[in-house]
């Protein structure tokens, strides 16, 4: 069965709640497409108004992060149950900015992935190499380590629902996109890794996005690759261009 493409915007720390509602209205007609899944991953404070703003449209809402504990004394954190109750469907886990600036490590991310599934959320699990790692020729070793560590004790049935975002760190927010060949090669490598860890059916089902300076000009070629099932889009998700990416 063909995998359904998934195109998700990562708004990062942009958009106040009122700006968020305005952006949803501006993008509403532009992102219409019943053939792909469209997701806005938004800052926590925007979740409630954005869920309301996209009601009745083809857009689903995602969070940019969550904590793995059920509830309690974790000041400043947001639980999976809170996200689920607010109408969130997806949650980004392990974005390179969280790994880098907030020192989130794979053991923590593994707990988050498991908790997200337990709560009925779909994780968008990010992985990707630095420029230094690419130049040293260890890209796939690094990514395999991330995937294997982040998916400890995650079942095949869960992985079939999972979204993995391959995001080379050197391509995020830099305007420097990976070549189509580089992106396809790593996305295939991730699928092969899933086949080794689970089985061919699981590898065939998991959706793998490319992220890193995706724009209206390069989306079509990237998304046409056999192992690229859509994109995680940062900068270009905040403007009308996102509609062109969704309708690549």
User: Cα separation of 16 and 199, whole Å?
Assistant: 43
| Local structure of residue 5 (DSSP, 8 states) | P
In whole angstroms, the minimum distance from the beta carbon of 13 to ligand PEP comes to 11
Binding mask 109-148 for ligand PEP (x = CB under 6 A): ----------------------------------------
Taking CB under 6 A as the criterion, the residue among 203, 232, 238, 245 binding ligand PEP is 232
Nearer to ligand PEP, 41 or 121 (CB): 41
Residues in contact with ligand PEP, shown as a per-residue x/- string from 45 to 64 under the rule CB under 6 A? --------------------
Q: How many CB atoms lie within 10 A of CB 105?
A: 11
Name the residue among 165, 213, 204, 154 with its Cα closest to residue 187: 165
Would residue 160 be called left, alpha or beta, if left means φ above 0 and alpha means ψ between -120 and 50 degrees? alpha
Q: How far is the CB of 200 from ligand PEP (least distance, A)?
A: 29
Task: From 148, 162, 144, 143, select the one nearest 96 (Cα to Cα).
Answer: 143
| Stretch in the footprint of ligand PEP (CB under 6 A) among 19-27, 47-55, 77-85, 211-219 | 211-219
Task: Examine residue 235 and tell whether it contacts ligand PEP (CB under 6 A).
Answer: yes
Q: Does 212 bind ligand PEP (CB under 6 A)?
A: yes
Which one-letter DSSP state was computed for residue 170? G
Vertex 217, ends 222 and 16: CA angle to 5°? Answer: 100
* Residues forming the active site: 95, 167
Length of the chain equals 248
List residues binding ligand PEP (CB under 6 A). Answer: 10, 12, 167, 172-173, 211-214, 232-236
């Amino acid at each position: 069965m063909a995998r359904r493409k998934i195109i998700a915007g990562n708004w990062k720390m942009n958009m106040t709640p009122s700006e968020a509602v305005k952006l949803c209205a501006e993008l509403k007609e532009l992102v219409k497409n019943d053939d792909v899944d469209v997701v806005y991953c938004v800052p926590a404070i925007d979740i409630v108004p954005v869920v309301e703003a996209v009601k009745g449209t083809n857009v689903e809402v995602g969070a940019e992060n969550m904590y793995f504990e059920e509830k309690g004394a974790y000041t400043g954190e947001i639980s999976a149950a809170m996200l689920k109750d607010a109408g969130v469907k997806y949650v980004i886990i392990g974005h390179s900015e969280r790994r880098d600036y907030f020192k989130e490590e794979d053991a923590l991310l593994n707990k988050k992935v498991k908790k997200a599934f337990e709560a009925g959320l779909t994780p968008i699990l990010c992985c990707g190499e630095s420029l230094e790692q690419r130049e040293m020729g260890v890209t796939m070793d690094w990514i395999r380590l991330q995937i294997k560590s982040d998916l400890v004790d995650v079942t095949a049935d869960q992985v079939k629902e999972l979204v993995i975002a391959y995001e080379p760190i050197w391509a995020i927010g830099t305007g420097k996109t990976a070549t189509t060949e580089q992106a396809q090669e790593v996305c295939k490598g991730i699928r092969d890794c899933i086949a080794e860890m689970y089985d061919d059916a699981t590898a065939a089902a998991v959706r793998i996005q490319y992220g890193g300076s995706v724009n209206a000009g390069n989306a079509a070629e990237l998304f046409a690759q056999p192992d690229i099932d859509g994109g995680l889009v940062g900068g270009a998700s905040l403007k009308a261009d996102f509609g062109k990416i969704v309708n690549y």
